[in-house]
Amino acid sequence: MHSEDLPLPGARDVRATLDRPESDDEAAVTVACPPHPQHRGHRGDDRLTAVSEHLVDRGIACLRFDYGDWDEGYGEREDARNAYRWARERYDRVGLFGFSFGGAVAALAAATVEARPDAVSLLAPASGLAADLDAAAALDDVDAPVQVIYGARDDTADWAPVVERARELGFEVVELSADHFFVGQRETVAETAGGFLVERLATR
C-alpha cells in the first residue's frame, strides 16, 4: 500500500489521504468519513484505517479525509460530497463508509450526491446531526446497497433509528457484540464493513 496526502476541491479547507494498492490500476475507491471532529475524530481513526487496509489489500483504494472547520454538520456533509465527487471523477466505482458521526455524514452524502454510490457501509452511525440532517430519513433516498453495523453494547451513539429504518428498507443490518468503539474488534470491523464493500466494488 502507498498513501498520498492531498487537498480536496471546494470552498472549505479539506485534506485527505488516498491509500492505494501497489498495482496502481484500481478502478474502485471508498470514501471514508471520520467520527466527530470535536471529539478528536480524524482520518487516522483506527476503524477507518482498518477498513482501508482491508480494501487496499483487495485492490480497492480508500480516500480518508478530515473535515474543514466545524459547521454543525452542514459543512461536514458538503466535505463528504466533495470528497465523493473527487472520487467519482477518477474511479469507475465509488463506495461510502463512515463511523459514528461519520456514519451519519456518509448517509446524508449518499442521499444527496448527483451520481449514486455503488455501496454504502455505516458503522455505529449517529441518527442525526441537526433537525434537518436526519441520517435515518436519508436512507429513503439512498439508491445503493446499504449496510448498517452496530454494537449491541453501544450506549454512545443514537444508532437505533438508523438500524430500524435500514431494516424497514431491507438493507443489510449487522449486530456485533461490541461497544461504540469496537474495542478489540479491529479485524471484525475490517472484515464486516470491508467485505461488504469489496463484494460490491471489486471487478467482476
Give 48-100 pLDDT, tens digit per residue: 999 999 999 999 999 999 999 999 999 999 999 999 999 999 999 999 999 99
C-alpha cell at 77: 456533509
Question: Radius of gyration over alpha carbons of the chain, in Å?
Answer: 15
Residue 204's Cβ-count burial label (10 Å; 0-12, 13-18, 19+) is exposed
The pLDDT of residue 29 is above 90: yes
Quote the cell numbers at residue 104: 451519519
Tally of structural domains, the chain? 1
Residue 24, pLDDT > 80, answer no
Please give the residue range of the domain that contains residue 108.
2-201
Instruction: Convert the pLDDT of each residue in 109-161 to its tens digit.
Output: 999 999 999 999 999 999 999 999 999 999 999 999 999 999 999 999 999 99
Determine how β-strand 61-65 pairs with β-strand 14-20.
antiparallel
pLDDT at site 72: 97
Indicate which CATH number applies to the domain containing 173.
3.40.50.1820
Q: What is the dihedral of CA 144, 35, 75, 140, to 10 degrees?
A: 30
